[in-house]
Amino acid sequence: MTASPQQQTAQPGAIISMQRIDKSFGPVQANRDASLQVMPGEIHALVGENGAGKSTLMRILGGLMKPDGGMVEVNGRDVTGWSTNEAIDAGIGVVHQHFMLVPTLTVAENIVLGHEPLKNGMFDAARAIADVTALSSETGLAVSPARKISELSVGEAQRVEILKTLFRGAKILVLDEPTAVLSPPEVKELWTVLRRLRDAGGTIVLITHRLDEVMDLSDTITVMRAGRTIERLKTSATNPAEIARAMVGRDVALMSREAAAFGEVPAVGADRVYPPNDFSAALEVTDLVVTGARNTRVVDGVTFAIQPGEILGIAGVEGNGQTELIEAIAGLRKSVTGNIRIAGHDITDADVAERREAGLSHIPEDRHRRGLILDYSIADNLLLGLQSEFSRKGVLDADRIADNAQTMIESFDIRPPSPELPARALSGGNQQKVVIAREMGQDFTVLLASQPTRGVDVGAIEFIHDRLRAARAANKAILLVSAELNEVLALADRVAVMYRGRFAVVMPASEATEDVLGEYMIGTRKVSAA
């Protein structure tokens, strides 16, 4: 493993050298002391989970954002804080996750946009088509120049995006999660194209969080976590488990206190006695299928049951259907087929409010988008989803709301303890406490806990873990999804690994180790034990 101080030093001969990059958005630090060294002629994978700061780093490279601190060098020239036009002129081409194409124009028109060939001052369509055809056969990126973008598949549209950057003379290609929207054969095609571009002397930076792709394609790997650069690895000298550990593993500084918290737990799951059958299951999910964009099956036939007093943990690399599974159970996303029951009641077709009434609580993975209304006060946020219970004949009961806020602030230690403060003003940990107070402070049968400790400090992590254990002791059923493997292992009685929309394995937590789970997470082990 590379020692971290060395990562900061520039590699001689690097074509891209980003050093000690800092960038924050308000209170959120997207990059802190991040660095990236890319050698000419290599495919460099930039890996890390959602929110690790990969895209921000690439936006800085592409001139879309200016860093708060640090230095960016391209071809040995200091270009810190340059503009997008300067980046394009210097040969950097960014292919965004969301395509930047004009759907009503043709492929050729999109590719030459901004550099249109002219004849007598008019757009020369024939020349544009000829130029694009030439470039297409030169690079092996097959496209039909005269078709409209709106008629293309995603894979074709992506080829157009790549051609567009090459047409502008890109020598360094940055691809942001290029496979997120592609089907497996389209991915294979893309790989061929990228290898050919590299072999022709191009440099490629690939942003991804899928380890199989990284191993398959890249020459060098930079791992990011929580805005920092964790490791720089040679692909030939590493293995998926090592990358996974760097991606989702624990921070060393954080580790000691967290381990102390986990240490109190006896071998979970080992000596627990379950009811002998599923009749008393608190949550039953049967053959659930959820489709995403372009009719891909993001949740592909998942079946499980959780007993009262049990925590089922779902591990997995993000983007394997965990989010969609939780949203489908919560009623925020339509399921195509399958059945969901809470304590025997069928809630498959119920709306969000009805599911809550049936005893469902939900800690959402994104508290800023879903879990909180940032401009509402703490008191008002504590009633989101419970607004009917806190009103009489349609009028909000101010006294009970104030009492509730006071009680929750005290018992969940929300700081500062001012009920009228907007949620926006709280720290991440205290915002999460507001969500947890609301979802766990009232009676419930089933709790969906999605990334319950994401972005909160160590003290709050311990607090949240204690709450989850207390809820299990009180006979609640909990479905826990976490990107932190050690969190799943520490809390869950059974662990399921989700891979490409399915449960790759379900096993008692007592039998699970990080290494075994890691192999299921990246798909190198594929036994369905469920």
Partner 1 sequence: MTSEFREKLEEALFPPFVALLVALICGDLLIMSYGQSPSSVYRLLIEGTWGNAYGFGQVLYKTTTLAFTGLAVSLGIRAGLFNVGAESQLAAGGFLAALVGLALSPAIPGFVAIPLCMIAAAAGGAVVGAIPGYLRVRFGAHEVIVTIMLNFVVLALLNWFIANHLHVPETLHTPEIRAGVVPRLSQYIPAFHGSAANLTIILALIVAALVWFGLFRTRRGYELRAVGLQPDAAEYGGVNVGGIWFRALTTSGAIAGLGGINYVLGYKHYYEDGFAGGSGFLGIAVALVGRNHPVGVILAALFFATLSQGGLAIHAFVPKQMVEVLQGVVILAVAMSVPEVRQALRLARKPAKA
Q: How many angstroms separate the CA atoms of 218 and 179, rounded?
A: 14
Which of 388, 407, 411, 513 is in the footprint of partner 1 by CB under 8 A? 388
- The helix/strand/coil state of 163 is helix
| Cβ(223)–Cβ(206) below 8 Å | no
> With respect to partner 1, which residue has the nearer C-beta, 216 or 354?
354
> With respect to partner 1, which residue has the nearer C-beta, 98 or 393?
393
| Cβ(379)–Cβ(401) below 8 Å | yes
Give the 3-state secondary structure of 271-303. CCCCCCCCCCCCEEEEEEEEECHHHCEEEEEEE
> With respect to partner 1, which residue has the nearer C-beta, 127 or 370?
370
> With respect to partner 1, which residue has the nearer C-beta, 74 or 414?
414
> With respect to partner 1, which residue has the nearer C-beta, 106 or 404?
404
> What's the min distance (Å) between Cβ of 451 and partner 1?
15
> What's the min distance (Å) between Cβ of 405 and partner 1?
13
> What's the min distance (Å) between Cβ of 470 and partner 1?
24
Q: How many angstroms separate the CA atoms of 370 and 162, rounded?
A: 34
Dihedral (C-alpha) 84, 86, 91, 94: value to the nearest 10 degrees?
-10
> With respect to partner 1, which residue has the nearer C-beta, 17 or 381?
381
Q: Beta-strand (E) ranges in 334-493?
A: 337-342, 345-346, 360-363, 391-392, 395-396, 446-450, 477-481
| Cβ(504)–Cβ(520) below 8 Å | yes
Q: How many angstroms separate the CA atoms of 408 and 171, rounded?
A: 57
Taking contact as CB under 8 A, which single stretch among the options 61-69, 146-154, 291-299, 345-353 is the one that binds partner 1? 345-353
Phi first, then psi, for residue 451 (nearest 5°) are 45, 55
> With respect to partner 1, which residue has the nearer C-beta, 237 or 293?
293
Scan residues 391-450 and list those touching partner 1 (CB under 8 A).
391, 394-396, 398, 418, 420-421
Scan residues 304-333 and list those touching partner 1 (CB under 8 A).
330, 332
Taking contact as CB under 8 A, which single stretch among the options 44-52, 274-282, 370-378, 404-412 is the one that binds partner 1? 370-378
Q: Angle at which helices 184-199 and 154-167 pack, to 10 degrees?
A: 20
Which of 23, 164, 362, 465 is in the footprint of partner 1 by CB under 8 A? 362
User: CA nearest 404: which of 356, 453, 456, 442?
Assistant: 442
Residue ranges of alpha helices (H) inside 443-484 are: 458-473
> What's the min distance (Å) between Cβ of 60 and partner 1?
25
Which of 74, 311, 383, 512 is in the footprint of partner 1 by CB under 8 A? 383
Residue ranges of alpha helices (H) inside 210-342 are: 211-217, 240-248, 252-263, 322-330
Phi first, then psi, for residue 154 (nearest 5°) are -60, -40
Which of 189, 380, 484, 493 is in the footprint of partner 1 by CB under 8 A? 380
Which of 251, 264, 278, 375 is in the footprint of partner 1 by CB under 8 A? 375
Which of 61, 149, 372, 447 is in the footprint of partner 1 by CB under 8 A? 372
> With respect to partner 1, which residue has the nearer C-beta, 133 or 391?
391
> With respect to partner 1, which residue has the nearer C-beta, 100 or 353?
353
Taking contact as CB under 8 A, which single stretch among the options 149-157, 221-229, 267-275, 356-364 is the one that binds partner 1? 356-364
- The size of the interface with partner 1 (CB under 8 A), counted in residues, is 31
Give me the residues that bind partner 1 (CB under 8 A), please: 330, 332, 351-353, 356, 362, 364, 369-376, 380, 383-385, 387-388, 390-391, 394-396, 398, 418, 420-421
